[in-house]
A and B are shown apart, each in its own frame.
Chain A
Amino acid sequence: MRVTVKLFARLRDIAGTAELLREVDAGTTVRGLWQQLATEYPEIASYERSISTAVNADYARRDQVLADGDEVAFLPPVSGG
Protein backbone atom coordinates (compact mmCIF):
# COMPACT_ATOMS: atom_id res chain seq x y z
CA MET A 1 0.00 0.00 0.00
CA ARG A 2 1.04 3.58 -0.51
CA VAL A 3 1.33 6.43 1.98
CA THR A 4 2.25 10.09 1.69
CA VAL A 5 4.99 11.40 3.98
CA LYS A 6 5.08 15.07 4.90
CA LEU A 7 8.30 16.59 6.25
CA PHE A 8 8.82 19.99 7.82
CA ALA A 9 11.56 22.45 8.74
CA ARG A 10 14.97 20.78 9.04
CA LEU A 11 13.61 17.33 8.17
CA ARG A 12 12.35 18.79 4.88
CA ASP A 13 15.76 20.33 4.23
CA ILE A 14 17.54 17.03 4.90
CA ALA A 15 15.26 15.08 2.57
CA GLY A 16 15.27 17.86 0.00
CA THR A 17 11.51 17.66 -0.37
CA ALA A 18 8.37 18.41 1.64
CA GLU A 19 6.51 15.34 0.45
CA LEU A 20 7.38 11.74 -0.38
CA LEU A 21 5.35 8.77 -1.60
CA ARG A 22 6.36 5.45 -0.10
CA GLU A 23 5.24 1.85 -0.52
CA VAL A 24 4.85 0.09 2.83
CA ASP A 25 3.72 -3.39 3.84
CA ALA A 26 0.32 -3.95 5.44
CA GLY A 27 0.67 -3.65 9.21
CA THR A 28 3.42 -1.03 9.04
CA THR A 29 3.30 1.40 11.95
CA VAL A 30 4.26 5.06 12.10
CA ARG A 31 7.46 3.91 13.83
CA GLY A 32 8.20 1.42 11.06
CA LEU A 33 7.80 4.10 8.41
CA TRP A 34 10.13 6.40 10.37
CA GLN A 35 12.76 3.65 10.57
CA GLN A 36 12.45 3.12 6.82
CA LEU A 37 13.08 6.84 6.24
CA ALA A 38 15.94 6.95 8.74
CA THR A 39 17.67 4.23 6.73
CA GLU A 40 17.11 6.21 3.57
CA TYR A 41 18.18 9.55 5.12
CA PRO A 42 20.65 8.73 7.95
CA GLU A 43 20.83 12.40 8.96
CA ILE A 44 17.24 12.35 10.26
CA ALA A 45 17.96 9.46 12.64
CA SER A 46 19.13 11.89 15.34
CA TYR A 47 15.52 13.16 15.55
CA GLU A 48 14.30 9.73 16.71
CA ARG A 49 13.58 10.90 20.26
CA SER A 50 12.47 14.47 19.57
CA ILE A 51 9.98 14.15 16.70
CA SER A 52 6.26 13.97 17.09
CA THR A 53 3.98 12.41 14.52
CA ALA A 54 0.61 12.94 12.90
CA VAL A 55 -1.58 10.78 10.68
CA ASN A 56 -4.12 12.47 8.42
CA ALA A 57 -3.49 15.81 10.14
CA ASP A 58 -4.17 14.60 13.66
CA TYR A 59 -1.63 13.82 16.37
CA ALA A 60 -0.80 10.10 16.37
CA ARG A 61 1.24 7.67 18.45
CA ARG A 62 4.12 5.83 16.89
CA ASP A 63 2.45 2.43 17.30
CA GLN A 64 -0.48 3.47 15.07
CA VAL A 65 -0.90 1.05 12.16
CA LEU A 66 -1.02 2.78 8.78
CA ALA A 67 -3.74 2.40 6.17
CA ASP A 68 -3.48 2.75 2.41
CA GLY A 69 -3.57 6.42 1.42
CA ASP A 70 -2.65 7.77 4.85
CA GLU A 71 -0.81 11.08 5.12
CA VAL A 72 1.93 10.72 7.73
CA ALA A 73 3.71 13.81 9.05
CA PHE A 74 6.97 13.86 10.98
CA LEU A 75 7.33 16.99 13.09
CA PRO A 76 10.70 18.12 14.43
CA PRO A 77 10.58 20.10 17.71
CA VAL A 78 8.30 23.09 17.18
CA SER A 79 9.07 26.79 17.52
CA GLY A 80 5.87 28.72 16.89
CA GLY A 81 4.86 31.89 18.64
Chain B
Amino acid sequence: MGVPLLAIGVEPLALDTLIAAVTDRGDATGSDGAVATFLGLVRNHNVGRVVQHLEYEAYEPLALRAFERIDQEIQARWPDVRLALHHRIGRIEIGGASVAIATASPHRGHAFSACRYAIERIKQIAPIWKREFFDGGDVWIEGATADPDDAAALAEAERIACV
Protein backbone atom coordinates (compact mmCIF):
# COMPACT_ATOMS: atom_id res chain seq x y z
CA MET B 1 0.00 0.00 0.00
CA GLY B 2 1.22 3.47 -0.82
CA VAL B 3 1.34 6.83 0.88
CA PRO B 4 -1.27 7.49 3.60
CA LEU B 5 -3.70 10.29 2.79
CA LEU B 6 -3.41 11.79 6.29
CA ALA B 7 -0.13 11.78 8.17
CA ILE B 8 2.01 13.55 10.76
CA GLY B 9 5.67 12.83 11.40
CA VAL B 10 9.27 13.98 11.26
CA GLU B 11 10.00 13.00 7.67
CA PRO B 12 10.49 15.77 5.07
CA LEU B 13 7.38 16.42 2.96
CA ALA B 14 7.08 15.78 -0.77
CA LEU B 15 4.13 17.20 -2.69
CA ASP B 16 4.52 14.73 -5.55
CA THR B 17 3.72 11.83 -3.23
CA LEU B 18 0.55 13.61 -2.07
CA ILE B 19 -0.48 14.32 -5.65
CA ALA B 20 0.01 10.65 -6.48
CA ALA B 21 -1.99 9.67 -3.42
CA VAL B 22 -5.03 11.76 -4.39
CA THR B 23 -4.99 10.96 -8.09
CA ASP B 24 -4.39 7.22 -7.87
CA ARG B 25 -7.87 6.23 -6.80
CA GLY B 26 -7.46 2.61 -7.78
CA ASP B 27 -10.52 2.65 -10.01
CA ALA B 28 -8.75 4.40 -12.89
CA THR B 29 -11.85 6.34 -13.90
CA GLY B 30 -9.89 9.36 -15.12
CA SER B 31 -12.56 11.63 -13.66
CA ASP B 32 -10.22 14.18 -12.06
CA GLY B 33 -9.96 17.52 -13.80
CA ALA B 34 -7.77 19.34 -11.29
CA VAL B 35 -5.34 18.99 -8.41
CA ALA B 36 -4.71 21.96 -6.13
CA THR B 37 -1.73 21.92 -3.77
CA PHE B 38 -0.49 23.94 -0.83
CA LEU B 39 2.94 23.89 0.76
CA GLY B 40 3.51 25.81 3.98
CA LEU B 41 7.12 26.98 4.41
CA VAL B 42 9.22 28.18 7.33
CA ARG B 43 10.04 31.82 6.60
CA ASN B 44 12.97 33.87 7.85
CA HIS B 45 10.99 36.62 9.56
CA ASN B 46 7.97 36.99 11.82
CA VAL B 47 6.53 40.15 13.44
CA GLY B 48 9.85 41.96 13.13
CA ARG B 49 11.97 39.06 14.39
CA VAL B 50 14.73 37.36 12.41
CA VAL B 51 13.76 33.69 12.54
CA GLN B 52 16.51 31.04 12.73
CA HIS B 53 14.39 27.89 12.62
CA LEU B 54 11.14 26.43 13.99
CA GLU B 55 10.43 23.40 16.12
CA TYR B 56 6.98 21.83 15.81
CA GLU B 57 5.40 19.54 18.35
CA ALA B 58 2.02 17.82 18.25
CA TYR B 59 -0.35 15.62 20.16
CA GLU B 60 -0.08 13.13 17.35
CA PRO B 61 -3.09 10.85 17.90
CA LEU B 62 -5.42 13.84 18.27
CA ALA B 63 -3.77 15.58 15.29
CA LEU B 64 -4.66 12.59 13.13
CA ARG B 65 -8.21 12.72 14.44
CA ALA B 66 -8.32 16.44 13.60
CA PHE B 67 -7.14 15.65 10.06
CA GLU B 68 -9.87 12.98 9.76
CA ARG B 69 -12.39 15.51 10.94
CA ILE B 70 -11.22 18.07 8.38
CA ASP B 71 -11.45 15.37 5.71
CA GLN B 72 -15.05 14.63 6.76
CA GLU B 73 -15.90 18.33 6.71
CA ILE B 74 -14.52 18.56 3.18
CA GLN B 75 -16.49 15.47 2.08
CA ALA B 76 -19.64 17.13 3.40
CA ARG B 77 -18.99 20.32 1.41
CA TRP B 78 -17.31 18.95 -1.72
CA PRO B 79 -18.21 15.23 -2.07
CA ASP B 80 -16.12 14.91 -5.25
CA VAL B 81 -12.86 16.02 -3.57
CA ARG B 82 -10.15 13.65 -2.36
CA LEU B 83 -7.77 15.12 0.23
CA ALA B 84 -4.18 14.31 1.18
CA LEU B 85 -2.67 16.19 4.14
CA HIS B 86 0.75 15.69 5.70
CA HIS B 87 2.17 17.79 8.55
CA ARG B 88 5.81 17.69 9.56
CA ILE B 89 6.98 18.03 13.18
CA GLY B 90 10.38 18.44 14.81
CA ARG B 91 13.01 20.97 13.79
CA ILE B 92 12.49 22.60 10.38
CA GLU B 93 14.98 25.03 8.87
CA ILE B 94 14.17 28.22 6.96
CA GLY B 95 12.67 27.33 3.59
CA GLY B 96 11.65 23.87 4.74
CA ALA B 97 8.06 22.68 4.32
CA SER B 98 5.93 22.22 7.45
CA VAL B 99 2.62 21.23 5.85
CA ALA B 100 1.61 19.82 2.46
CA ILE B 101 -1.91 19.50 1.11
CA ALA B 102 -3.26 18.14 -2.17
CA THR B 103 -6.90 18.09 -3.27
CA ALA B 104 -8.17 16.40 -6.40
CA SER B 105 -11.58 16.96 -7.99
CA PRO B 106 -13.32 16.86 -11.35
CA HIS B 107 -13.58 20.65 -10.98
CA ARG B 108 -10.83 23.21 -10.24
CA GLY B 109 -13.10 25.35 -8.09
CA HIS B 110 -13.74 22.50 -5.69
CA ALA B 111 -10.05 21.59 -5.58
CA PHE B 112 -8.97 25.18 -4.81
CA SER B 113 -11.69 25.73 -2.20
CA ALA B 114 -11.11 22.43 -0.39
CA CYS B 115 -7.34 23.04 -0.29
CA ARG B 116 -7.80 26.50 1.22
CA TYR B 117 -10.41 25.19 3.66
CA ALA B 118 -8.03 22.44 4.81
CA ILE B 119 -5.17 24.79 5.74
CA GLU B 120 -7.53 27.21 7.52
CA ARG B 121 -9.01 24.38 9.60
CA ILE B 122 -5.56 22.96 10.40
CA LYS B 123 -4.61 26.33 11.85
CA GLN B 124 -7.84 26.47 13.82
CA ILE B 125 -8.11 23.01 15.36
CA ALA B 126 -5.05 20.75 14.87
CA PRO B 127 -3.15 20.20 18.16
CA ILE B 128 0.19 21.32 16.73
CA TRP B 129 2.47 24.04 18.07
CA LYS B 130 5.44 25.87 16.63
CA ARG B 131 8.30 27.18 18.73
CA GLU B 132 10.09 30.02 17.01
CA PHE B 133 13.83 30.38 17.53
CA PHE B 134 14.85 33.89 16.54
CA ASP B 135 17.82 36.23 16.93
CA GLY B 136 17.61 36.99 20.65
CA GLY B 137 15.46 34.19 22.02
CA ASP B 138 12.65 31.74 21.44
CA VAL B 139 8.88 31.79 21.88
CA TRP B 140 5.94 29.42 21.56
CA ILE B 141 3.53 30.75 18.97
CA GLU B 142 -0.05 30.65 20.27
CA GLY B 143 -2.89 31.10 17.80
CA ALA B 144 -6.41 29.72 17.97
CA THR B 145 -8.15 27.92 20.80
CA ALA B 146 -8.70 24.47 19.29
CA ASP B 147 -12.46 23.92 19.35
CA PRO B 148 -13.68 21.86 16.39
CA ASP B 149 -17.31 22.77 17.14
CA ASP B 150 -16.74 26.54 17.24
CA ALA B 151 -19.35 27.77 14.75
CA ALA B 152 -17.66 31.14 14.24
CA ALA B 153 -14.37 29.47 13.31
CA LEU B 154 -16.15 27.10 10.91
CA ALA B 155 -17.95 30.03 9.29
CA GLU B 156 -14.67 31.91 8.92
CA ALA B 157 -12.97 28.92 7.24
CA GLU B 158 -15.94 28.61 4.87
CA ARG B 159 -15.83 32.32 4.07
CA ILE B 160 -12.11 32.22 3.30
CA ALA B 161 -12.55 29.09 1.15
CA CYS B 162 -15.48 30.65 -0.75
CA VAL B 163 -17.87 27.80 0.06
Q: Give residues in A with beta carbon < 8 Å to B.
A: 6, 8-10, 13, 50-52, 54, 57-59, 73, 75-81
B119 contacts the other chain (CB 8 A): yes
Q: In whole angstroms, how far apart are the Cα atoms of A81 and B98 in the complex?
A: 6
Q: Is the CB of A80 within 8 A of B129?
A: yes
The answer to whether B140 and A57 have CB atoms under 8 Å apart is no
- Assign chain B's interface to a size class: 20 to 34
Chain A residues, CB < 8 A from B129 = 8-9, 76, 78-80
Whether a CB of chain A sits under 8 angstroms from the CB of B130 is yes
Q: List 25 A-B contacts (CB under 8 A).
A: A8-B59, A9-B57, A9-B142, A13-B140, A50-B145, A52-B145, A52-B147, A54-B59, A57-B59, A57-B61, A58-B65, A59-B62, A73-B127, A76-B140, A77-B146, A78-B124, A78-B125, A78-B145, A79-B129, A79-B143, A80-B63, A80-B99, A80-B122, A80-B126, A80-B128
Contact A80 B123 (CB under 8 A): yes
A-contacting residues of B (Cβ < 8 Å)?
A: 40, 56-59, 61-63, 65, 87, 98-99, 119, 122-131, 140-149
| Chain A, Cβ-Cβ closest to B149 | A59
Please, which residues of chain A bring their CB within 8 A of the CB of B125? 78
Q: Which residues of A contact B56 (CB under 8 A)?
A: 80
Q: Are the C-beta atoms of B131 and A9 separated by less than 8 Å? A: yes
